[in-house]
Chain A
Amino acid sequence: MNDMTSRTPDSDMVLEVENLSLEFADRDKVTYALDAVSFSVGEGEIVSLVGESGCGKSVTAMTIMGLLPKHGARVTSGSALLRGRDLLHTSEREMRRIRGDRIGMIFQDPMTSLNPVHTVGMQVSETIRKHRRVSRGAAEKRALEMLDLVRIPDAASRLRAYPHELSGGMRQRVMIAMALACDPELLIADEPTTALDVTVQAQVLDLIADLRRDIGMSVILITHDLGVVAGVADRMMVMYAGRIVEQGPTEKLFADPAHGYTAGLMRSLPGVNARMHDELREIPGSVPRLDRKIEGCVFAPRCEFSSETCLAPLPQAQERAQGHWTRCIHADAVRQAMSDNDIVRAWA
């Protein structure tokens, strides 16, 4: 894989990220933000990057989109192939053409991502005219279609509305309409529902799932919420301290988690499954600093399953079942312990 440009991609993969490592350098300090991140997104597939703040999920997305600062951030290895084309070796000029056209993006806060002094109709059609040679009228017609597609009621009059006149849920729909206006092959959604109320969140998630079904788009969904992942994602990648520690089909990971961190996350969730007023199973300690390279398992210091071998350089990720990979060497012990867990039982 040394000659990345000549590599023929798997035909059914929209995006393939291979062995991506990234550092942030700030004068004398280096932060190892991503360490050998590999995953792929298939045609019409919703995959989710899950993890806590600082685990590298947003940085992964920003790297793919080429939005990291030119100074300070350094890709030290790897590739990100969009239909075979390496985005990490693409000029800024080209990337500007790809973003918004072949890759759509939506972010957490729909208010700050929209321009407050332009109508939403103008903002959606601007995106279209940036990438397609169409008349103003045609772009507006397309903008109207898009607002209809994302189920904004009374779309024709909403075209003339300013962002502050819309509710949070409606703004996020406008963002989705903008992101999808040019029929992107891939939609990257970074915490798209975190700022929304549960009822509105449910509507936006349903919309994303329906759009995938109707227009077959591929989605990378970045979230910290396991409930959101369980609701819409086909596959999930669990990230911790800059690494993907476990990945596989969503149902498989919930039913049979094979990493100490995934298991810890699931057990610490309060809710209908945990018994009321019982102590929650906490994950002790906090996330490690990434100012040095960690050879062994990054989660070992907080893991109840860890042993001395965890601190030695880790073997490659092991495949436990079709498409289910873990970097945990105690996967069997984790599985044993999780077999009496309520969440797992609810699924099994």
Chain B
Amino acid sequence: MPIYCSGDIIGVNDASGRTSWAAGQPIPKGVWTEVLDSGLQSTTYSQAVSVGELYSAIVLVFHNDDNVIYDAAVWLASGDHASASIVQVGRVYDTDRLDDLSISCSSGVKTITFGMDATSGSRLNAYIMRNQ
């Protein structure tokens, strides 16, 4: 099979199939990237994640407790070099588990704070698809 390239080939997935990305770096565009996996938590949880430079994105957040979805939310984010805003598109299930996202911005780099209420076995996973 020939491969024709007009630009660089950038490997976006690691060996496990997840998008390769490290906090603080820009997220590859057009692919869903896991930006937070809280691990198992038992008390209130909050984590700020530097998601790099982005100007628009879709953010999907899952709250899972003992392997059952308790809350899930979809957000849209947008911003410039100095500011950013984020709005919820939809939310389902036990709507009091996930906290609203908060976002701060410095030189285009967005830092998003994810938080949740947690009982034993709770986990928070967040994914971003950067558009721009």
Partners in one complex: no
